[in-house]
Copies of this chain bind each other. A is one copy, B any other.
Amino acid sequence: MDKSAETKFSLYQQWGMLPELALEAHDLLRGDRGGEIPGVRLTEEVEDIATVHTVTVLNSQGSRIMQKPEGIYVTIHCKELAVNHHGILESVSNLVTKHLKKFITLSSLEAPVLVAGLGNWKSTPDALGPRVISQLMATRHLYGKVPDEILEGVRPVATIAPGVLGMTGIESADIIRSAAKQIKPELILVIDALAAGDISRIGTTIQISNTGISPGAGVGNQRSGINKETMGVPVISIGIPTVVKARIIAHQVLESFWEQLHQRPQLSRMLKELPEPTVRNLMQYALEPCQHNMEVTPKEIDDLVQNCSTIIARAITRTLHPDMNEDFAANFF
């Protein structure tokens, strides 16, 4: 592991800028020189339309270094999630389905699942979760009311969009937990908009994980954890970065510029004589216009959220109801 990368990682942590995507945390830790991180495994698959990385946090050592719970984090990277093209949308949705299926083991087709869409539907960059929910059709209540043959291949699914603490006065985690007590699902699926650690991640990345949502994650902040410990059943999370701190954008450019300067032979020696804290201070000063809590989102955010919620809603439906009657399925898509 790269020593200076580790320093930078702890600096980012101090600044409240640690990436929410496990893959970004991993990249940050490895720095430029690469190398293995103890207790963490990374694999890569190249698909037609996407590159898929799997970060596995294997043990408590990996968890401590990465500042992420033990578990599996699949990151699907695909150039253009924000493009309004039904063919692309369908291909990405199928790819997400393929990877989501690997995360899900349920005792039978009768095992109920609860899908929770986190976030604030009144704020476009945070509306991914509620939008997915509004595109899903719940099926749990149909049992006993609709002929059995129609429900062949259909799992009992309930959905909830708990809103955000600032609007409801109730923690999302509390609402989901109490709904789960009613429904007794075998699994909870949580969808959330994430803050990226790099502007290039926005509109290009979907993360699926079996670790649920950690405290403090998400576009809105200070959330309680939604995971196996707090919910009592496995929690699979699907997250899509929609915002990034302006400070992160600028800091990356500063770092890159700083590196460039070092490559000028005449300058390199003198720059290296500057003490690390001095450099940090100079950068901090330059970064001041980018206030710590200022997060930005691309101008195309409406299309991005719309397309991503369609992709995710379809992938969830295909995953949870694998053999649905085709005619019944036409009510969904």
Contacts and interface: CB of A to CB of B under 8 A. Distances in A.
Contact of A331 (B84, B156, B161, B256): B84
B285 A243 contact: no
- Helix, strand, loop or mixed for chain A's interface? helix
A141 B167 CA distance: 9
- Specify how many copies of this chain sit in the oligomer: 4
A178 B182 contact: yes
Nearest to A288: B256
A188 interface: no
A282 interface: yes
B256 A253 contact: no
Interface bin, chain A: 35 or more
A157 B170 CA distance: 9
B270 A200 contact: no
B286 A253 contact: yes
A192 to B, nearest CB: 14
B290 A261 contact: no
29 contacts: A86-B330, A86-B331, A87-B330, A122-B134, A123-B299, A124-B124, A138-B168, A141-B165, A141-B166, A159-B168, A160-B170, A170-B179, A170-B183, A175-B179, A178-B179, A178-B181, A199-B290, A246-B296, A249-B249, A249-B250, A249-B289, A249-B296, A250-B254, A252-B289, A254-B257, A260-B286, A264-B274, A296-B296, A297-B299
